[in-house]
């Protein structure tokens, strides 16, 4: 079996962000910052550090700030340069010409539909998908750990993390088979199973390496859980036809699609910083006392 490299990553960023209103009324949820960096930049940096070359955004109306963020900011850069200010904070955000590529998801029909909207850009090669509201902190990062695993087993490799019983109805859930180190065989998948019916506590944390055949499965696929076209349902149909593994992560996960998770991410990353960590720690101690 020849294992083809993962060169492209799809970032579904068309979601309306209703869970974060009013913050996201006029601003993309992916631009919410953890300390001083937008969520989307964490996800893009994770992909690039894992060896991804082509960034693909599946975007939508009202998401222009995302395009501007990865572009040249002429006035800002010229003014900073003229004033002799350090550009370190914005260095490297702009990608090479031709990347990112933007495609539009015209209607909010679900994650599976969003990924399918990138089919012409993905073409006939394996690709990664990263959901930016899942913030992963680790070294090597999650996608890099998944790429290493993929290079051994090929096929489809998706993130697999444990959650508590009370949370399994919020996520895609894996039926696990044989385990081998960080990898577990995936024998079935179900999106947001009703409380008490989950086949395990292993959830899919928004990181995927998929074979291009998933696009063909998504073509014409009907709505699933929540009335949306689900990526989980399409992946489930590849099981048995292609190798399919879950990959655990040694690192930290923050569900920034959830307000408590988002605040936790800000606290944890602020405490870990050399510049503001001491001040935040001292304040947090006083507050908790
Ligand atoms: C999506 C996926 C789900 C996954 C989750 C991770 O759900 O459909 O399988 O577990 O992201 O955050 P959403 O959060 O968009 O409802």
CA distance 211 to 214: 6
Query: What number is the average pLDDT over the span 133-155?
Result: 97
Least confident span in 72-86, 175-189, 236-250 = 72-86
Mean pLDDT, residues 12-29: 94
**Whether the Cβ atoms of residue 202 and residue 246 lie closer than 8 Å to each other:** yes
38 lines ligand 1 (CB under 6 A): no
pLDDT at 1 over 70: no
Average pLDDT of span 86-98: 88
The arithmetic mean of pLDDT across residues 144-172, rounded, is: 97
163-183 average pLDDT score: 96
More confident residue, 17 or 101: 101
In this model, does residue 95 exceed pLDDT 90? no
Residue 41 DSSP class: H
Residue 92 confidence class, pLDDT cut points 50, 70, 90: confident
Instruction: Report the pLDDT value the prediction gives residue 96, as an integer from 0 to 100.
Output: 85
The alpha carbon dihedral of 232, 262, 63, 142 has a sign of negative
For each of the domains in the chain, give its residue range(s) and CATH number, in order of start: 8-257 (3.90.550.10)
Cβ–ligand 1 contact at 163 (below 6 Å)? no
Nearest Cα residue to atom 15 of ligand 1: 111
What is the C-alpha separation between 145 and 224, in angstroms, rounded?
30
Q: What is the rounded CA–CA span in Å between residue 55 and residue 50?
A: 12
Residue 14: per-residue pLDDT: 96
Average pLDDT over residues 98-119: 96
Residue 173 reports pLDDT greater than 90: yes
246: tokens are 């879950």
Q: Tell me the pLDDT tens digit for each residue of 228-265.
A: 999 999 999 999 999 999 999 989 999 999 999 999 99
Which atom of ligand 1 is the closest one to the Cα of 225?
Answer: 8
CA 133 / ligand 1 centre spacing (Å): 10
With a 6 Å cutoff on the Cβ, whether 206 touches ligand 1 is yes
Q: Is the pLDDT of residue 71 over 70?
A: yes
226 alpha carbon – ligand 1 mean position (Å): 11
Q: Beta strands of 105-225 (E only): which ranges? A: 127-130, 134-137, 156-159, 161-162, 172-180, 183-191, 202-203, 207-210
Pairing label, strands 134-137, 207-210: unpaired
Q: Whose CA is nearest to atom 14 of ligand 1?
A: 171
pLDDT at 203: 98
Say if residues 249 and 259 touch (Cβ distance below 8 Å).
no
Q: Which atom of ligand 1 is nearest to the CA of 231?
A: 8
Report the alpha-carbon distance of residue 181 to residue 151 in Å, rounded.
Answer: 15
Write down the pTM of the prediction: 0.96
Nearest to 213 by CA among 125, 105, 111, 120: 125
Residue 127: pLDDT band with limits 50, 70, 90: very high
Helix 39-49 and helix 142-153, axial crossing angle in degrees, nearest 10: 40
Q: What mean pLDDT value characterizes the chain?
A: 95
**Six token digits for residue 224:** 């699933």
Residue nearest to atom 7 of ligand 1 (CA): 171
Residues 6 or more apart whose Cβ sits within 8 Å of residue 146: 50, 128, 157, 159, 207, 209, 247
Q: How confident is the model at residue 17 (pLDDT cuts 50, 70, 90)?
A: confident
Mean pLDDT for 135-163 is 97
Ligand 1 pocket residue status of 191, Cβ below 6 Å: yes
Nearest residue by C-alpha to atom 11 in ligand 1: 206
Q: What percent of the chain is predicted at pLDDT more than 70?
A: 100
> Which run of H or of E encompasses 246?
strand 244-247
């Amino acid at each position: 079996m020849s294992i083809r490299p993962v060169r492209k990553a799809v970032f579904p960023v068309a979601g309306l962000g209703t869970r974060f209103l009013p913050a996201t009324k006029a601003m993309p949820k992916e631009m919410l910052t953890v300390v001083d960096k937008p969520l989307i930049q964490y996800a893009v940096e994770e992909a690039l550090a894992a060896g991804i070359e082509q960034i693909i955004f599946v975007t939508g109306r009202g998401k222009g700030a995302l395009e501007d963020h990865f572009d040249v900011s002429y006035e800002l850069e010229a003014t900073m340069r003229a004033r002799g200010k350090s550009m370190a904070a914005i260095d490297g955000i702009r990608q090479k010409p031709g990347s990112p590529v933007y495609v539009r998801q015209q209607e909010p029909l679900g994650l599976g539909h969003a990924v399918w909207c990138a089919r012409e850009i993905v073409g006939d090669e394996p690709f990664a998908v990263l959901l930016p509201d899942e913030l992963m902190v680790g070294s090597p990062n999650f996608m890099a750990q998944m790429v290493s695993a993929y290079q051994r087993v090929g096929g489809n490799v998706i993130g697999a993390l444990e959650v508590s019983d009370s949370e399994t109805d919020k996520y895609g859930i894996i039926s696990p088979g044989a385990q081998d180190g960080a990898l577990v065989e995936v024998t079935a998948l179900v999106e947001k199973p009703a409380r008490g019916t989950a086949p395990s506590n292993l959830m899919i944390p928004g990181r995927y390496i998929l074979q291009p055949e998933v696009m063909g499965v998504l073509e014409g696929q009907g709505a699933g859980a929540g009335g949306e076209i689900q990526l989980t349902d399409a992946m489930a149909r590849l099981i048995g036809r292609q190798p399919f593994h879950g990959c655990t992560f040694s690192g930290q996960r923050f569900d920034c699609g959830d307000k408590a998770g988002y605040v936790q991410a800000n606290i944890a990353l602020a405490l870990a910083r050399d510049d503001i960590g001491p001040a935040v720690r001292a304040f947090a101690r006083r507050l908790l006392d």
